[in-house]
Amino acid sequence: MIQMENVTKTYTLRKQQVIGLDDATLAIPAGDFVSLVGPSGSGKSTLLLMLGGMLTPTAGRVLIDGESLYDLPADGRARFRKQRIGFVFQTFNLVPYLTALENVRVPLYLAGVGGDDQLERATALLNRMGLGQRLDHKPTELSVGQQQRVALARMLANDPAIILADEPTGNLDPETGEQIIRFFEEFNAEGRTIVMVTHDPQAAERAERTLKLREGRVVEDRPGKRMLQVA
Amino acid sequence: MNLRTLVLRELFERKTQMLTCFLAILLGITTVVAIKNVTHYSEKAVAVEMDALGANVLVLPKTVTLQDYYSADMHDEVIPEEYVMRLTMSDIQGVDNLSPKLNVPIELDGRNFAFTGILPKNEFQAKAAWAGAGIFSRPIGCGAIDVASEPEPEDKKSLVRNRVIKDLESHEVLVGADAATVQDIAEGDTLTLLGEEFTVIAVLPETGTVDDSRIFGHLHTVQRLSGKGPVVNCIEIVGCCKEISAGLVEGVNALLPNAKVVTVKQVVATQQNVNRMMERLSLIFLAIIVIVGGASIANYMYANVFERRKEIGTLMALGAESGLVLRIFLAKAALLGIAGGVAGYLLGTVLAVTLGPRLAGVTVLPMPTLALWAIGVSIGITFLASFFPARRAASLDPVAAFQEV
């Protein structure tokens, strides 16, 4: 269970206070698939970063399974991310000088997994993403869709319970975007909680729940089409 | 995947940056290693010279200045040979081993050599004895001549060690090692020098000095053939102990007011000054490396951190702790330091060994201990210069992973 209790984030920009998130309170049960929508600057990314333990709130608490994330020191939050959270970025954020296989091995190395096990698990994940023939290719030698699939394999490396995705289809063509969303549905079906920031209404509708933000406030909380169809 | 792979892959991804940084370290370490290596052997050579010749004194014409003891006679100025007799017959302690020299340049098969006239010891000893000079008043032992003893057969090659010879006939010569090799001369050969024939009675062992290119003959023969008359270029007084040579200089100065008396200490003073200058120069270079090299590495590291902030943010988002990020940058600094230190030591040693003999006139050998010094200094500088950039990387906000760079 992910909880936000009266979370506010304010920034000071050129001596002016800017509100990133304004008194947000929400609860995301384990296994939920939530899409965060709203115009640019509405606070979607701020909310996602806070859930990932990467942006300290000005006020309020963020709890994951009852543990207050920001009561942990920075390195404690890093360890928490390593064990529990997987990130997916809009621009994939693959390490450019490492091959696909090595990129997937990075979180395994960070988690202290041995060399042989790293190799075995990374290979299996890339095979699952349909990239078994591209293990030794560097990011620049892959298409954007392939790069995002490598990023998905990397995200899955430590088997995270929570997936935080920042516009995962933002840089992809509709067909590849659709492929990525199908993967998300698959991960959700495995029991993982997914929080996905998106500008794409179709991608947002594929979630079980949609939270709409405007000017740092959660202004709408409604079930996605998938849930409506199920209902 | 491990720390080494992460660091090495990144280093080779940015080859130009890596090479620039590596070169900054390499050039600095090379320069200091080369200077330190040459200075060490130069100091050693001076020490050896002082040890071997420290008690010796040179009597030279007033106007002569010299920097190399072994080439003391290689000039055109002369003093009368009669000074040898004056010294022999004086009561100054420690003047019994005298070696007057007259040097004449000669050409053999198109190559230049020095034909050096030396006076065998038996001649002036005998003269002194006949004259009933003050040698009998000297104390027995160091500085005394045993004129009564039976002459023993002498190894002519001992000239290079003792710098004096007991017997030498008018048409006998001793040939230096280089001269013998170049001219293919062996013991028993006959040589024609300045129009007369000479028998080679010995080929001298190599000394590493100008003596290797000399042909030694009898002083009076060289004087006659060169037409210079009874003169010498220098008189070497082979001292037996430093204590006696201290008083010797004053005595000889008083006895020969028209000659210049030079001690070995004075001859090597110039070299000692050069060595001191080199030592100071190496310290200056070390300071330059620390400042310029360190600044260059720090600049490279700061730029590297800035360029990689999205990558660092991503690693942090994946769970990398600040300690690991710090280690990534410090490991990179250590690798550059080790590579720069090893390469700098090798290149500096090669430069010292090849250029040392030409620049400092000494044989320079590799110094393995300098390798540890070079690597230590190199790692120290790279660590020092990289610490603050590495700390900045470790304290980066992982939010950078989400920002467009």
Q: What is the pLDDT of residue B128?
A: 54
Partners of B397 on chain A (C-beta within 8 Å) are: 54
Does B229 share its domain with B348?
no
Question: The tokens of B355 are what?
Answer: 């250029």
Query: Is residue B344 in some structural domain?
Result: yes
Does B151 share its domain with B12?
no
- Are the Cβ atoms of B311 and A91 closer than 8 angstroms? no
- Are the Cβ atoms of A97 and B323 closer than 8 angstroms? no
Contact A26, A221 (CB under 8 A): yes
pLDDT interval class at B129 (50, 70, 90) = low
* Mean pLDDT score across all residues of chain A: 91
Using one digit for the tens of pLDDT, what is the confidence trace for B278-328? 788 878 878 887 788 888 889 989 999 999 988 999 999 999 999 999 999
State the DSSP code for B205: P
Question: pTM for the full model?
Answer: 0.70
A105 touches chain B (CB under 8 A): yes
Does B369 share its domain with B226?
no
Contact B96, B235 (CB under 8 A): no
Phi, psi at A93, each rounded to 5°? 55, 40
A107 touches chain B (CB under 8 A): yes
Weakest-pLDDT range from A103-117, B208-222, B276-290:
B276-290
Query: Is residue B322 in some structural domain?
Result: yes
Domain count, chain B: 2
pLDDT interval class at B137 (50, 70, 90) = very low
Residue B322 has its nearest CB partner, among A75, A82, A154, at A75
Please, what sign has the CA dihedral across residues B38, B40, B44, B50? positive
Summarize the confidence of residues A106-121 as an average pLDDT. Answer: 94
- Are the Cβ atoms of B1 and A111 closer than 8 angstroms? no
Summarize the confidence of residues B127-150 as an average pLDDT. Answer: 45
Does B330 share its domain with B356?
yes
Q: What is the pLDDT of residue B133?
A: 44
Does B220 share its domain with B342?
no
| Cα separation, B59 vs B251, whole angstroms | 12
Query: Is residue B355 in some structural domain?
Result: yes
Residue A97 has its nearest CB partner, among B1, B10, B323, at B10
Residues of the domain holding B283: 3-48+271-402
Does B117 share its domain with B135?
yes
Using one digit for the tens of pLDDT, what is the confidence trace for B315-369? 999 999 999 999 999 999 999 999 999 999 999 999 999 988 887 778 899 999 9
Does B9 share its domain with B143?
no
Phi/psi region, residue A114 (left: phi>0; alpha: psi -120 to 50; beta: rest), is beta
* CA distances from residue B347 to B24, B38, B40, B340, B355 in whole angstroms, order as listed: 14, 13, 17, 10, 12
Does B291 share its domain with B395?
yes
pLDDT interval class at B148 (50, 70, 90) = very low
Query: Is residue B187 in some structural domain?
Result: no
Nearest Cα of chain B lies from the Cα of A115 at a distance, in angstroms, of: 6
Query: Is residue B112 in some structural domain?
Result: yes
Q: What angle do CA A191, A79, A74 make, to 5 degrees?
A: 125
Summarize the confidence of residues B153-164 as an average pLDDT. Answer: 65
Residue B320 has its nearest CB partner, among A45, A110, A158, at A110
- Are the Cβ atoms of B399 and A49 closer than 8 angstroms? yes
Contact B10, B18 (CB under 8 A): no
Query: Is residue B205 in some structural domain?
Result: no
Summarize the confidence of residues A182-210 as an average pLDDT. Answer: 92
A52 C-beta neighbours (distance < 10 Å), count: 27
Q: What is the pLDDT of residue B24?
A: 86
**Which domains, ranges and CATH numbers included, belong to chain A?**
28-54+74-230 (3.40.50.300)
Summarize the confidence of residues B91-117 as an average pLDDT. Answer: 85
ipTM exceeding cut-off 0.85 for this assembly: yes
Query: Is residue B306 in some structural domain?
Result: yes
Using one digit for the tens of pLDDT, what is the confidence trace for A131-172? 999 999 999 999 999 999 999 999 999 999 999 999 999 888
Partners of B396 on chain A (C-beta within 8 Å) are: none
Does B226 share its domain with B319?
no
| Cα separation, B352 vs A6, whole angstroms | 72
Does B225 share its domain with B372?
no
User: Is pLDDT at B141 greater than 50 in this prediction?
Assistant: no
User: Is pLDDT at A19 greater than 70 in this prediction?
Assistant: yes
pLDDT interval class at B160 (50, 70, 90) = low
Question: The tokens of B77 are what?
Answer: 């100025």
Q: What is the pLDDT of residue B215?
A: 93
Query: Is residue B253 in some structural domain?
Result: no
Does B134 share its domain with B235?
yes
| Cα separation, B310 vs A139, whole angstroms | 15
Domain-terminating residue out of B225, B240, B255: B240
- Are the Cβ atoms of B1 and A102 closer than 8 angstroms? yes
A133 C-beta neighbours (distance < 10 Å), count: 9
Does B298 share its domain with B343?
yes
